[in-house]
Structure 1
Amino acid sequence: MSDDRSEQPGQAEQAQQAARIAGAIRQVLGDSLGYLYPAALRVAVRAGIPDRLVAGPRTAEELAAEAGLHGPFLYRVLRFLATRGVFREDGAGAFHLTPAAQVLRSDVPYSVRSPALLFTDEMYWKSAERLEDTVREGTTVFDDIFGIPLFDRVDGDGAPAELFSAALDSLSATEESSIADSYGFPASGTVIDLAGGTGGFLRTVLAKNPKLRGILFERAAVLRRHRLDDPAVAGRWETTTGDLYESVPPGGDVYVLKRIIHDKSRADCLRILGNCRKAMGDDSRLLIVDAVVPREDVPPGAVLSDVLMLTVFEGKERTEDEFASLLEEAGLRLLRVHPTPGSLSITEAAIG
C-alpha cells in the first residue's frame, strides 16, 4: 500500500507535464500556420462577403455564385474564419454576420475594411516574410523588395496610395472623437494638422471647438481628397501643400502630429520635430498622438505594433522617456502625456 501511495504524486506530476507539453505543441504548430488567417480574411473581404450577408444568412454556394468564386472552397475558408469569430455557421450550413464581420462591412462608419486590406496587402505581407533579414540587417527590407521606401510607394494617385490613404482614414474615423475630447484645445486660435491625411481629425476638432481655425498641411495628392467640406466647419479651414521634412507652416497655436512619429526613424523624427520647433511660437503647443509604451505590463497591441514598425517602416513604439529624449534633442520639452480611451496618448510639448 505504501509503495502505491508514493507513486501516485509522481504519476500525477508526469501527467500534468505531458498536458503542458501537448498544449505547448498545439500552440506552436497553430502559430506556425497563423499566416493562413490573414490570407483567409483577405479572401472574404475582397469578395465582399460581409456586405453580402447584410440582408441575412446565406450559404457558401450562394455567396460564391454571386462573387465568382468556387463554392466548396469558399465554404472551407468561411468555416475556418468562423473558428475565429468572423462569421457564424448555423446548422443548415448558412453563414451569419458576427461583430467581427460587421466591422468589415464597407457601409458602416466604423468600418475597418480598408485597414484589413492594407495589412494583408503585399506591401506588408512580403515585408513580414523577410522579417529574419530585417532583424539581421537592423533595417527594413521594404526598399529591397519594392525598390523604393513605403512612403514613396504610397505617394501620388496610384492604387497603393489610394489603399494606404483609405486605410488611414478608416483608422482615424474610429478614434477621432475620443482623441479630440481628451485634450483641452484653446478657445480660439489656429490648429495645424501636420500630414493630417484627408482632414478627418482636424474637422472633428474644429466641429467640437467652434471658435478655432484650422490648417490641413499635406501633400498635394492627398489634399485633393480632403474631407473638410462640412457645414459645421465652413469658413474656418484652409489647406496648405508641403513636406514635413522641408518645413512646417508658422503661426499655429496648436500643432498636431497624429500617427506620424511612431513609423519614423530617430533621424527622421528629429528632422520633423526640428521643423516644428522652428515654426512654433513661445506659447505654441505640439501634440504627438501616438501610443506611449508603459514601463511595465506592455499591452500586447503595442508589442504587435512595434514589430510592425520595424517590419515595414523604420520606426518604433516609444516610451515616455524616449519621447522626452527626442523632444529635448529637437529643442522642445515634454509637458505632459494625456491618456485617451483608446490605445493612443497625446504627448504635449512646448519650446524647451
Structure 2
Amino acid sequence: MDHTAPSAPSAPSAPDSLSAIDPLAAHLTDYALSYLHSAALRTAARLGVADHLADGPRGADELAALTGASEGHLRRILRLLATRDVFHEDDKGAFHLTPLAERLRSDTPSSLREAVLLATDESFVRPATRLEDAVRTGRSVFDEIYGAPFFEYLSREPGAGEAFDRGMANVSAGEDDAVAAAYSFPAKGTVVDVGGGRGGLLGRTLARNPGLTGVLYDRDAVLRGHSLDVPELTGRWEVRPGDFFTSVPAGADVYLLKRILHDWSDEECVRILRACRAGMSADSRLLAVDCVIPQDNTPHPGKVLDVLMMTALNGRERGEEDFRRLFTEAGLRLVRVVPTGSAVSIVEAAPVAPVA
C-alpha cells in the first residue's frame, strides 16, 4: 500500500522561471543588454584583474583589495563575465583565469588588453548611442559630440591619441605576421608602409623578407613611438613624416595600406589612392589590407567594424567590388584578393598605364 502523501498540485511557473523563458525573447534581450557585458569587460581590463590571477585563483575579497574596488560590485561583474567564459568562478567563490581571460593580461605576448580598452573606449561608445542619427543623416555624429572629427580629436588630446595608437598596435599584432606570410613580396626592393602606425606590419614584412628595405610613413607624433629599432632590422628601415592625402614617398616597389581605407569616405579614399598612384612606378604594387565583406549573411568581423566606422568616423568596410571601383577612380586596377587567415585580406592593385 502506498503511504506517500499525494503530491500537491503544481504551482504555475513564475514569469521569471528559466523553464518559462521564451528563447527568442531571451535571445533578443541578451543582444539588447550586451553593452553591459562590454562595460564589465572594460572594467575588468582597467582594474587589471587578469594580472592578479596570473599566479592562481583568488576570491573577490582579495581581488578587491588588490584593485581598490568594492568587493561586492567586483564579484558581480566577474560573475557576469564568467557566464561568457571570461574568468571562471569555482564552488568556493574563487575566480580563475580562462583562455579568454588570459588575453586580458598585460604581460603576455598574446595580450589583447589594449585592444579591449580601445574598443570599449568612450570615444567609440558615445557615438554608438547616436547610431540612429548616423543612419538617418548618413554622417557620423562624432564631431558633434567631441567638437572635431575623429583624427583631429586624437591629435589635440594626447591621452586619447596614445590610447588609440596602443590599441591599434595591439589589434594589428595578431594580424601582421599572417599578412606578411600571405603575400609573395619581391626578393629585393623597398616597401612603404603608408599610415603604418608603429610599424608592426612593416617590421614583420622585413623580418620575413631579408632582401627588402622599408619606409614607415605616418604623422610625426605617431612615428615617435615606432617599434622598428631592433637588431634584426638594423640598417633596413627609415621613418618619414607626411600626409598621405597629398603625397607618399615615390619609387617604392610595394605600398602597404593596412586598415587605412576603412577609416575614410570613398572620396577621401580616392585622394589617398591617387597620392599613392602618383608615387608608383609601372611595376609597383599597392596592397590594401582591410576586411573584405562577403555578400551573404555569413558572420564576419568586418560587419561589426562597419557599424563602428559609421558612428565614430565617416568610413566603412568594403566588399571586393567596392575596392575595384575605388581603384579604378584612382588610376589603379584590382589584381586579386589574397586571404590571410585573419579578419583582413590583401587587396592587390597595380597601376593602369596612362592612355597614349
Please state which band the TM-score falls in when normalised by the shorter chain: over 0.9
C-alpha change, 1:20 and 1:293, in structure 2 (3 Å) is farther
- The residue aligned with 2:10 is none
Q: Secondary structure at the match of 2:215?
A: strand
1:172 and 1:20 mapped to 2: Cα distance?
44
Query: Is 1:282 aligned with 2:290?
Result: no
- The residue aligned with 1:61 is 61
C-alpha change, 1:220 and 1:65, in structure 2 (3 Å) is same
1:296 to partner: Cα distance: 2.5
Amino acid at match of 2:155: D
How many correspondences in the alignment?
334
- The residue aligned with 2:114 is 114
2:95 and 2:21 mapped to 1: Cα distance?
35
Q: Secondary structure at the match of 1:30?
A: helix
Q: Secondary structure at the match of 2:155?
A: coil
1:30 to partner: Cα distance: 2.0
- The residue aligned with 2:222 is 222
1:156 to partner: Cα distance: 5.9
Would the aligned equivalents of 1:156 and 1:221 in 2 still touch at CA under 8 Å? no
Q: Secondary structure at the match of 1:217?
A: strand
What's the CA shift string for 1:85-141, capped at 9, x where partnerless? 100000110000001111111011121111111111110110111111111111010
Would the aligned equivalents of 1:110 and 1:170 in 2 still touch at CA under 8 Å? no
1:30 and 1:259 mapped to 2: Cα distance?
30
Would the aligned equivalents of 2:50 and 2:97 in 1 still touch at CA under 8 Å? yes
- The residue aligned with 1:77 is 77
C-alpha change, 1:66 and 1:186, in structure 2 (3 Å) is same
Amino acid at match of 1:169: A
- The residue aligned with 1:23 is 23
1:226 to partner: Cα distance: 0.7
4+ long deviations beyond 6 Å: none
1:300 to partner: Cα distance: 3.6
1:20 and 1:133 mapped to 2: Cα distance?
37
- The residue aligned with 1:138 is 138
- The residue aligned with 2:248 is 248
* Equivalences for residues 179-258 of structure 1 within 5 A: 179-258=179-258
- The residue aligned with 1:13 is none
RMSD: 1.4
Between the two proteins, what is the percent identity of the paired residues?
50
1:225 and 1:293 mapped to 2: Cα distance?
31
Query: Is 1:166 aligned with 2:178?
Result: no
- The residue aligned with 1:291 is 291
What's the CA shift string for 1:180-226, capped at 9, x where partnerless? 00000000000000010011111111111111000000111011111
- The residue aligned with 2:48 is 48
- The residue aligned with 2:330 is 330
Deviates more, 1:307-316 or 1:254-263: 307-316
- The residue aligned with 2:101 is 101
- The residue aligned with 1:315 is 315
1:294 to partner: Cα distance: 2.0
Amino acid at match of 2:336: R
Q: Secondary structure at the match of 1:294?
A: coil
Q: Secondary structure at the match of 2:296?
A: coil
Would the aligned equivalents of 2:86 and 2:97 in 1 still touch at CA under 8 Å? yes
2:301 and 2:196 mapped to 1: Cα distance?
23
TM-score by length of 1: 0.92
Q: Secondary structure at the match of 1:283?
A: coil
Which runs of 5 or more residues in structure 2 are unaligned? 1-18
Which runs of 5 or more residues in structure 1 are unaligned? 1-18
Would the aligned equivalents of 1:109 and 1:173 in 2 still touch at CA under 8 Å? no
Q: Secondary structure at the match of 1:256?
A: strand
Amino acid at match of 1:116: V
1:302 to partner: Cα distance: 2.3
What's the CA shift string for 1:41-69, capped at 9, x where partnerless? 11111100010100100001100011111
1:28 to partner: Cα distance: 1.7
Amino acid at match of 1:208: R
1:307 to partner: Cα distance: 1.1
Would the aligned equivalents of 2:293 and 2:300 in 1 still touch at CA under 8 Å? no
1:29 and 1:318 mapped to 2: Cα distance?
30
Amino acid at match of 2:291: A
Would the aligned equivalents of 1:157 and 1:221 in 2 still touch at CA under 8 Å? no
1:53 and 1:156 mapped to 2: Cα distance?
37
1:20 to partner: Cα distance: 11
Deviates more, 1:90-99 or 1:33-42: 33-42
1:346 and 1:171 mapped to 2: Cα distance?
17
Deviates more, 1:257-266 or 1:298-307: 298-307
1:348 and 1:28 mapped to 2: Cα distance?
40
